[in-house]
Structure 1
Amino acid sequence: MNFKNQLKLILVTIICTLGHLLSAQNIEIKGKVIEEVSKQPLAYATVTLFDTTTKATLTGVITTDDGSFKIETDATQFYLQISFMGFVTKTITQFDIKRAKVDLGTIILKEDAAQLATVLVEAEVSSSQFKLDKRIFNIGKDLSSTGASALEVLNNVPSVNVDIEGAVSLRGSSGVQILINGKPSILTDDGGALGSITADMIDRIEVITNPSAKYDAEGTSGIINIVIKKDDRKGINGAVSVNTGLPDNNSIGISLNRRSEKFNLFTQLGLGRRVYPRDSENTNEDIETGTSILSKGTDLRVEKFYNITLGTDYYINANNVLTLSGNFAYEIEDQPSDIRFTSIDGTNTVTSEWNRTETTEATNPKWQYELVYKRDFTDHEDHDLLISATGRSFSKDLTSLFQDTTISGTQDRDDTQNTRTDYGSNNYTFKVDYTKPFSDIWTLETGVQYQIDDIGNDFEVQDLVDGEFVTDLGLTNNFEFDQNVLGVYLIGGYEYEKWGVKGGLRLEQTDLTTRLVTTNQLNDQQYTNVFPSIHTSYKVSDAVSLQAGYSARINRPGMRELNPFFNIRNNFNIRQGNPNLMPEFTDSYEITSIFDIGKTSLNFGVYHRYTTEVIERISTFENNINTSMPENVGTNSTLGIEFNTKYRPAKWLTFNVDFNYNQFDRKGTFNTAIFDFNGNQWGSKLMAKFDLPADIDLEAVGNHRSKVKTVQGARSANTFLDIGVRKKIFKDKGVISLSIRDVFASRFFETFITQNNSRASSFSQRGRFVAIGFSYGFGKGEAMEYSGGKRR
């Protein structure tokens, strides 16, 4: 073959190869799956692509939370099937291919009545999901949450810690904003109130470490959103759960739902009684004189709670939905305590002993009501308008009787005091959110929110003098708190193939007024702030994705931090507020890598937070009395890493690991004290889940939190274990469970404080909790151990 013929052959080969490559380019097929009756998105439906000739499966995906899907193929002859248990499978054979893309638009699936009558649908989804700006943890397969409250469920969520007093932290930092169904709630205003939400009521928990500008800027370490279950399947559905345990821990939960053509009626009821015992020890010592005050004893928090939610969705038409819902919670509290005090002189001799007993009773009625209108536009599946108005009301009527009785010593410690607290809070939030996609690539989001907080705390202390109670004017006052916040945001989003970015700005105007009624002391603060945010993600491959984000946040002091008056539960350890406190500001950055490799999913992230006007409680000592008050004390720079992984070495065994480490650098002064120091802290969780024969599951969750240096001292390390076991019964419609929290009674809270010539230590512990639970689903419902996702 001569050179010319060889050249022709090479050219022909190249042209044929290029033609084959061009003709074999991937075709992208997308669409959105909805239900025929409710017009709601159908999440987790299976989308499968088949070869037309061989009928062999080419590839497949499942639909996302909004019912959408994308699937790619290099085949030229294929057809598509969409299936979901309880619905008629749909087959699509005709495709309009334009520029290697197919847009199937909205695909409607019809219910299969015969199948629904005989098949129980149990949707098993991943325990966690990663979105562009949040992580989603589905509840129900978490066995150790059986019989637990929302606070106890939160403690098993990666990156989240809840101490025994109910304080929630995220990545070791406080300043967390807790939402319910994406909005502030009466049940999040007080940490203890989350006890009226049982684990059975929770669908999923969303952890947002770097919120976008769409969210309220409150919460320097992020947002935790608790999503409550709501069923919208056609017909009557329901479930009931019963829990009992030791210490006294009893609750009942009922969920009912009726879905018709135009209405979706839903209700949830929770009621119960819980007892939280606590053993505590406190020591205040004057190093210079050697004198000290020791206190040791037990207190209880006995709660009876009633919680009911009623609501309805009214489907005006296929594109317009109106939702009206209300929630009423009522709590009855009883807090008895018995504390023994000991006074010791410089020679380590006991000079006096006395008992201080407390009898506290309180009632807490809480209301919340909400009206929501949503319009879906027909030009694009993500084009929608959401308008909502929410009202919240919370009041507390509390009375306490304190009695001191001398046991030994020359000093008469006998004393009797009464306190009365009338607390009232009214909050209103009005919000408009609008999303407009200009194409499949570009999206614009905008909205406005106005929040009104009107709070009052009327506190009175009375001393028993000559057989009559006399008001102590020095400790009695009425504190009023009024805060209005107007927020406006604008977000632009770009998403194309493997890369997406979302950037936005939020403008907030804050108007705060506090007033001490007796002295008419006013404190007005007005400030305007801009909070930018940006999030981006890049899909390296099907197994590897990268995410990065930045947001600016604020932590506004609340009623408890600003109110200068205090309770007198322990006269030697006093906590009070500071009406001159300024808000914290935080810049938060993070980069996360997500790997999905075979039987292992792994997430590794690096984050940095820089906070100004840091709020810390500063203790001062006088005559062995420790008085702590929040103060703005400089800056804090935190650099940390976070690691989460899920590994399933066998069908019957799954491991989940969560590890968080950060180091911090503190700079600041208060009065003459300098608070410049650095330190580190780390925490880890290990969950092992065993799928045993006879439909029995076993789970163990181990937690460890390291020792950490604080502004004036340190907080001790802590390790504890929770376990749970569950068995399905009654053809999977029922579930019986046993859980033990803090198996070895090793969970405690211990702090040490050193200030000038004084030091203090504090130790408290609640002990082991055992709970047995039973749940049963009826109608098209199922037992309240549902793992998450949108139920059908």
Structure 2
Amino acid sequence: MLLLGFLLLGLQKGKAQDNSAITISGTVVEEATGQPIAFATVMVADNETKKPLTGATTGDDGSFTLETSADNFYVEVGFLGFQSKTFGQPTTRTPKMDLGTISLTEDAQQLQEVVVAGEISRTEFKLDKRVFNVGKDLSSTGASALEVLNNVPSVNVNIEGKVSLRGSQGVQMLINGKPSIIASEEGNALGTITADMIERVEVITNPSAKYDAEGTSGIINIVLKKEERKGLNGSISVNTGTPAGHSVGVSLNRRTEKFNLFSQIGVGVRDLPTDVENRNVNLVNNTAVVSTGEEYRNENYYNLVLGTDYHINDMNVLTLSGNFALEIEDQPSTTDFAEYDAANAIVSQWQRTEVTEARNPKFQYELQYKKNFDEDDDEHTLLFSGLGNFFGKDQSSEFINSTVSGELNDANQQTRTDFKEAVFTFKLDYTNPLTDEITLETGAQYVLNDVSNDYEVNNLIDGNYVNDPGLTNIFEYDQKVLGLYGTGSYEGKKWGVKGGLRLEQTDLNTFLATTDESNDQSYVNFFPSAHTSYKFTDKVSLQAGYSKRIYRPRMWDLNPFFNIRNNFSIRQGNPELEPEFTDSYELTSIYILGKASLNFGVYHRYTTDVIERVSTFEDNVSTFKPENIGTNKSTGIEFNAKYSPANWLTLNGDFNYSSFKRDGVFNTQIFDFTGDQWSSKLMTKIKLPADFDLEMTGNYQSSYRTVQSRMEDILFMDMGLRKNLFKGKAVINLSIRDLFASRVNESQIAQADFEVYNRAQRGRFVALGFSYGFGKGEAMQYSGQRRRF
């Protein structure tokens, strides 16, 4: 009886073991290079029916683990472009089945099919924009969004991560057609987007009525894929430099079935010294005041970005994100002054020192809702977004004049600034493709800008600080812009046309509280646009466009109160300034010639109520104030070329030439003249041995005339060296801005009764950084809030 019982227990135990789960593991690599293959498919299938039972995909390191309880199965491992491998189950059933390292061989036939299917990145014209479709050649590399942008014709990204379009850095960056914290310079988080998340990049040089009529040098819109793969990517960066530029940053992006989470945190220290020289000459009595010195703007800054995309379902996505930044400023500047008489003898010398402290909190947050009406059509959408920005400045300054020789010029002044700005942007866009060729777009935008600047100046008199009422006031600025637009387009295989009209109503109110002065403006404007394109071949296309643009004066253009750092060279605003309007015409062609892409365009721009800074002169004090002066007609050509004659060499050149005609009158003085200006940039990228990348960029801007002054030409070079480590997971980065310290901004005003000369130079900046990327992305640099030159 006992023997029979043990025998039955043994049989039951053996049967249970036969049906227990088996853990299958292994690592998938490329046979040619030994590199791990991420997202390879591992399938467990029934031996008889050949139907799949379970499966998994490999991780970033090519590894996988899965379980099965099947009795009769086989394992198949495969990846697009590679020959699959099949493994039968072990003859003896064990709890673990380790397949070890599985090497997959490229399948030449599959790879050819991929190319034919359009998996290589390519550029095409789409009416009012150029579209760069991201193919497998980029999306499977793990590169960041900045690396993708660097492959777009006429777009450059330097080693520091700064984006330029046709040689200009005044580019508006959009994500899915709207401003985003990820794309803003404040967040500087573009590195958290990897290439496999990007569907296409749209480049718009002459925006249609769909976009804000406020002028920009162009728009770059990054369109993300609707469905994103799961995964984690991010980077850790450490940077140092001279003058002081030290920062530490962490960027993260996590994607799951429902959520796309992104974050960034960074801290840093930055010094911005500037050598300045100003010379004011009174040609009536031949006296002069000369000042030279070094101005500083030193900052400690802290930055935090948090956000998420919530995929409610396949048709609805909700985005919520926020950014907080804090700058703590210190401006220990010193300026030496000298006053000369008619005989060029020094009458007085004194030194003016400045001690300034400021705290600048910044907040930015956004809410976006996107609805797709058709699961099979990503173009039929409704998009709502709300974006809020807040910037504050709590600043106090003390200026001390100390006489060095000659006439007494001792004086002390104190200033206080309490600045607050809030900007809210609400946007609604609806797009409906009625047919494959015809699309209608409509929408609205409402922008509220509310600013208050409380500025106070006190002079030291008889040991006490006394308020200076002529320099003290509270300036309030309130602007509301409501925009409505509609566009319609037809796009066939070869030819297309798009037309649109935008209406914008602007209400502007400025108020000087202390003196009870107000200036209210209200105006309604129509902004038409028209675009057409024709594709001769897949490699040659032509595009023509027209749009009307507006430049509204900024708060600092309007505010008459100013910093008195140099009280012989004063810049102030004009509350009565009017906006300027521009009619922009453009004809552009694109040529894709093998490894080269060429863009050639001609343009004409007609601008009315041109805003120019005009200098007035009294008691050797020059005061610069913006005024509306006449019209400007500008006609020019633009040329851009990107060429890679070899895998190790890329050349990118930009050239812009324009001639202009100015007509205008100010204070009975006629400002009619003609002139021209041109600029060029040549960027060379060289892949060196040992995985080094060298980048050199030469820039030249010619001299040109304004209504009063002559701006001198500028020639300078930037250089960068990059070393990839650990197969692109880590990067050491060296950059030198203004390599030869030749970037000098000089201007000369020569009038009948006075001359003014200004010179400013930032000098050479050297930065060294190390970044380590983990997850799916390569190392993505964080450099704090980018320097603005």
The TM-score normalised by the length of structure 1 is 0.78
| 2:558 partner amino acid | L
Is 1:736 aligned to residue 732 of structure 2?
yes
Which residue of structure 2 lines up, in the alignment, with residue 574 of structure 1? 570
| Deviation digits for residues 728-763 of structure 1 (CA, Å, limit 9, x no counterpart) | 111221111111111100011000012231010000
Which residue of the other structure, out of 159, 167, 174, is the alignment partner of 1:159? Answer: 167
Distance 1:361 1:214 in 2: 43
Which residue of structure 2 lines up, in the alignment, with residue 3 of structure 1? none
Which residue of structure 2 lines up, in the alignment, with residue 282 of structure 1? 278
1:382 is paired with a residue whose SS is strand
Which residue of the other structure, out of 368, 377, 381, is the alignment partner of 2:378? Answer: 381
1:129 is paired with a residue whose SS is coil
Say if 1:186 and 1:366, in contact at 8 Å, map to a contact too. no
| Deviation digits for residues 695-743 of structure 1 (CA, Å, limit 9, x no counterpart) | 1111111001111111102001111111111111112211111111111
Distance 1:500 1:710 in 2: 40
Shift of 1:268: 1.4
Shift of 1:549: 1.0
Which residue of the other structure, out of 62, 75, 84, is the alignment partner of 2:119? Answer: 62
Which residue of structure 2 lines up, in the alignment, with residue 463 of structure 1? 459
Distance 2:213 2:510 in 1: 21
| Deviation digits for residues 629-678 of structure 1 (CA, Å, limit 9, x no counterpart) | 11110000000101111122222222111111101100000012111011
Which residue of structure 1 lines up, in the alignment, with residue 527 of structure 2? 531
Larger radius of gyration: 2
- Alignment: residue pair count: 666
Aligned positions of 1:276-355 closer than 5 A:
276-355=272-351
Say if 1:186 and 1:394, in contact at 8 Å, map to a contact too. no
| 2:152 partner amino acid | Q
Say if 1:201 and 1:228, in contact at 8 Å, map to a contact too. no
Say if 2:281 and 2:754, in contact at 8 Å, map to a contact too. yes
Question: CA 1:332–1:570 in 2, change beyond 3 Å: closer, same or farther?
Answer: same
Distance 1:84 1:715 in 2: 47
Say if 2:192 and 2:234, in contact at 8 Å, map to a contact too. no
| Deviation digits for residues 509-550 of structure 1 (CA, Å, limit 9, x no counterpart) | 111111110122111111000001112211111221111111
| 1:491 partner amino acid | T
Distance 1:376 1:229 in 2: 14
Which residue of the other structure, out of 398, 402, 406, is the alignment partner of 2:399? Answer: 402
Aligned positions of 1:366-377 closer than 5 A:
366-377=362-373
Q: Tell me which moved more, 773-782 or 741-750.
A: 773-782
| 2:774 partner amino acid | F
Distance 1:290 1:419 in 2: 32
1:381 is paired with a residue whose SS is strand
Distance 1:463 1:476 in 2: 11
Distance 1:354 1:728 in 2: 53
| Deviation digits for residues 179-217 of structure 1 (CA, Å, limit 9, x no counterpart) | 7886568999xxxx9577488579899764311111111
1:397 is paired with a residue whose SS is strand
| Deviation digits for residues 94-148 of structure 1 (CA, Å, limit 9, x no counterpart) | xxxxxxxxxxxxxxxxxxxxxx9xx967896473536xxxx6x364xx32x26xx
Distance 1:273 1:196 in 2: 16
Say if 2:118 and 2:135, in contact at 8 Å, map to a contact too. no
Distance 2:726 2:574 in 1: 57
Is 1:418 aligned to residue 414 of structure 2?
yes
Aligned positions of 1:88-237 closer than 5 A:
125=148, 127-129=150-152, 137=155, 139=157, 142-143=158-159, 145=160, 153-154=162-163, 157-160=165-168, 194=185, 197=188, 208-219=204-215, 221-224=216-219, 233-237=229-233
Say if 1:208 and 1:222, in contact at 8 Å, map to a contact too. no
Which residue of structure 2 lines up, in the alignment, with residue 256 of structure 1? 252
Distance 1:315 1:565 in 2: 48
Shift of 1:558: 1.6
| Deviation digits for residues 268-326 of structure 1 (CA, Å, limit 9, x no counterpart) | 12321111111111100011211100000111111111111111111111110011111
Aligned positions of 1:542-581 closer than 5 A:
542-581=538-577
| 1:287 partner amino acid | L
Distance 1:573 1:544 in 2: 52
Is 1:605 aligned to residue 601 of structure 2?
yes
Is 1:650 aligned to residue 673 of structure 2?
no
Question: CA 1:51–1:439 in 2, change beyond 3 Å: closer, same or farther?
Answer: farther
Distance 1:196 1:122 in 2: 16
Question: CA 1:660–1:303 in 2, change beyond 3 Å: closer, same or farther?
Answer: same
Give me the identity figure in percent: 56
Q: Structure 1: any 5+ residue segments left out of the alignment?
A: 1-34, 38-44, 70-81, 88-115, 147-152, 162-167, 169-175, 787-792
Say if 1:509 and 1:526, in contact at 8 Å, map to a contact too. yes
Is 1:693 aligned to residue 689 of structure 2?
yes
Question: CA 1:51–1:362 in 2, change beyond 3 Å: closer, same or farther?
Answer: closer
| Deviation digits for residues 493-512 of structure 1 (CA, Å, limit 9, x no counterpart) | 11100112221100001111
Distance 2:203 2:701 in 1: 20
1:732 is paired with a residue whose SS is coil
Question: CA 1:85–1:346 in 2, change beyond 3 Å: closer, same or farther?
Answer: closer
| 2:343 partner amino acid | T
Say if 1:236 and 1:259, in contact at 8 Å, map to a contact too. yes
Is 1:357 aligned to residue 353 of structure 2?
yes
Shift of 1:773: 1.3
Distance 1:53 1:364 in 2: 57
Shift of 1:403: 0.4
Say if 2:282 and 2:753, in contact at 8 Å, map to a contact too. yes
Say if 2:144 and 2:193, in contact at 8 Å, map to a contact too. no
| Deviation digits for residues 466-498 of structure 1 (CA, Å, limit 9, x no counterpart) | 222111111100011111111000011111001
Which residue of structure 1 lines up, in the alignment, with residue 103 of structure 2? none
Say if 2:193 and 2:253, in contact at 8 Å, map to a contact too. no
Shift of 1:56: 7.9
Distance 2:353 2:473 in 1: 24
Distance 2:124 2:502 in 1: 29
Which residue of structure 2 lines up, in the alignment, with residue 172 of structure 1? none
Distance 2:655 2:765 in 1: 25
Distance 2:454 2:135 in 1: 60
Aligned positions of 1:425-440 closer than 5 A:
425-440=421-436
Distance 1:484 1:561 in 2: 17
Shift of 1:565: 1.6
Distance 1:65 1:187 in 2: 25
Is 1:510 aligned to residue 506 of structure 2?
yes
1:474 is paired with a residue whose SS is helix
Aligned positions of 1:593-742 closer than 5 A:
593-742=589-738
Distance 1:120 1:54 in 2: 19
Question: CA 1:504–1:325 in 2, change beyond 3 Å: closer, same or farther?
Answer: same
Distance 2:110 2:743 in 1: 63
| 1:626 partner amino acid | S
Which residue of structure 1 lines up, in the alignment, with residue 62 of structure 2? none
CA RMSD of aligned residues (A): 3.4
Distance 2:491 2:679 in 1: 35
Say if 2:372 and 2:381, in contact at 8 Å, map to a contact too. yes
Shift of 1:424: 0.6
